[in-house]
A and B are shown apart, each in its own frame.
Chain A
Amino acid sequence: MKKTVIAAAVGIFAAMVGSAQAQETFKKMKETGSVTMGVRESSGALSFTLGDGKYAGFHVELCQRAIADIQKQLGLSKLDVKYQAVTSQNRIPLVQNGTVDIECGSTTNNAARQKDVAFANTTYVEEVRIAAKAKSGITSIAQLNGKKVATTTGTTSVQLLRKHERATGVNFEEVFGKDHADSFLLLETDRADAFVMDGQILAGNIAKSKSPADYRIVGEVLNVEPIAIMMRKDDPAFKAAVDASLQGLIKSGEMAKIYDKWFMQPIPPANVKVGLPASDATKAAWATPNDKPAEEYARK
């Protein structure tokens, strides 16, 4: 008797979990009156924490505007936005299982990920660069032969470095930080000679460091990656709504102003500016909105 009760309970639970995955975002927003935004703790100017459970950044603001537009579209009187901090590791599983409805961080749009999640139109095109101490004299990846290179576990840069080592025969020793702040600390304390990561994360960390003048972003562009807002797969209505909101911002010129606000003006918490103007690739992505994965950018 006990066994059948347990079996039945497990069966019902499994069915509930199964059906939750097919739930649409709009339905969830109407039923619960809330939406969960995935945010990052230290992803440069795209998404970061101000402490005390508050988050800010370029993508965070774009998501807040999109959610406000959707609230108007659905006619909801009250829509609670819950912020959920995510890491490079868990961002995709959390979107897949429905814990996070919209992830507004620094996620690269690539073909492998498009099998599990959907991306809004690309709002930022990232270039992978090298950060090194100015006095080290490092200006290109070839000079990193035999040196220690830091990068963050769970990012696309790890595989990129591995491919580069193989392709060019440069051999360096990789040191892994557990998150971007940790990897920058490795560079700061000279445990690493260079930090390879998306340019805006490098710029953000340098701007927030104790002595920004000690660091330089150097070397050739190692990879071009489209960064986009992430959401659950197979929910075309939600994606269309987010894309429409972004498109509205681009048309009205707000997108460029919001970019400027986060990348060219002083930002909290340290009131320093990142100083990274919109690259040509980013402006091109705004001009022709698309959600092409990174592989198509590499082919160009």
Chain B
Amino acid sequence: MAAWDWQVFCKDTITGEVAQGCFGQGGDITYLQWMISAWGWTLSVAGLALVVALIVGSLIGVLRTLPNKWLRLFGDAWTELFRNLPLLVQIFLWYHVLPGIYTPLKELPGFLLVVFALGFFTSARISEQVKAGIQSIPKGQRYAGLAMGFTLAQTYRFVLLPMAFRIVLPPLTSESMNIIKNSAVAFAVSVAELTMFAMQAQEETARGVEIYLMVTLLYFISAFSVNRIATFIEAKLRVPGLVGAK
């Protein structure tokens, strides 16, 4: 195996010379700065997509458990549509096909289209988990709430959802970590995130091993941090006597 060259990260991206202190001067950037900026893009895409996914996914999951047949049908259709297509295909649909049909979408930056594609893809999976969480609560809870005089909305808000979300926090943690990893497909539609950085920097510096190792480390740190944050939330939200309590 050839010798390692960790200095590659301090190289200027234009001249290829090693910069002092690893950060470029006068507008030039080093590969390290580029990598950090790409990491920022990865986290932004993943973060925004997670917000979209959680909000939409929870809503659809709740819809799928309502007594109204048409709302349930809409929720099921949404989930099946976004669950049965590969993520990359969905991203291409949002980026190339939909703007062809509905032209105002062309004005949107690729970044937003990826957030929607990734968000809706994950929302299908989250809706499935939220639905499973709600359905795992004994039916008596819903009827007891209604018998107490709560409206259906209040029953969900005060009785069902608090328990359901605590039950499905572990699968939701997995989905949040998945979104960080799935954000890598954004490179295919020109979002300057970590995977695109890795591909381009490897081409320019011919030091693929070092570059990919660092990118791997950054992905691992990102996903693991999400995991730790979720565990912290889970611990803080624990209620004695409910599912998952110590």
Contact = CB atoms under 8 A, between A and B. Distances in A.
B204 interface: yes
Given A175-B190, A178-B188, A153 B199 contact: yes
Contact of A162 (B14, B96, B199, B205): B14
A115 B205 CA distance: 11
A269 interface: no
A71 interface: no
Determine the main DSSP class of B at the interface with A. helix
Contacts of B199: 89, 153-154
Contacts of B188: 178, 182
A18 to B, nearest CB: 9
Interface residues of A, number: 27
- Interface residue range, chain B: 20 to 34
B202 A89 contact: yes
Nearest to B1: A18
B208 A153 contact: no
B17 interface: no
A178 B187 contact: yes
A176 B198 CA distance: 14
A92 B110 CA distance: 30
A166 B27 CA distance: 9
B206 A166 contact: no
A190 B107 CA distance: 11
B212 to A, nearest CB: 10
Nearest to B95: A191
A163 B192 CA distance: 18
Nearest to B206: A112
Contacts of A191: 106
A80 interface: no
B203 A155 contact: yes
Interface in A141-197: 153-156, 158-159, 162-163, 166, 175-178, 182, 185-186, 189-191
Contacts of A154: 199-200, 202-203
Interface of B: 13-14, 27-28, 96, 99-100, 106, 110, 187-188, 190, 192, 196, 199-200, 202-206, 208
Across the A-B interface, give the 6 residue pairs with the lowest CB-CB distance, nearest first. Answer: A176-B190, A154-B203, A175-B190, A178-B188, A112-B206, A154-B199
28 contacts: A88-B203, A89-B199, A89-B202, A92-B206, A93-B208, A112-B204, A112-B205, A116-B206, A153-B187, A153-B196, A153-B199, A154-B199, A154-B202, A155-B203, A158-B203, A159-B14, A163-B14, A166-B14, A166-B28, A176-B187, A176-B190, A176-B196, A178-B187, A178-B188, A185-B96, A189-B100, A190-B106, A191-B106
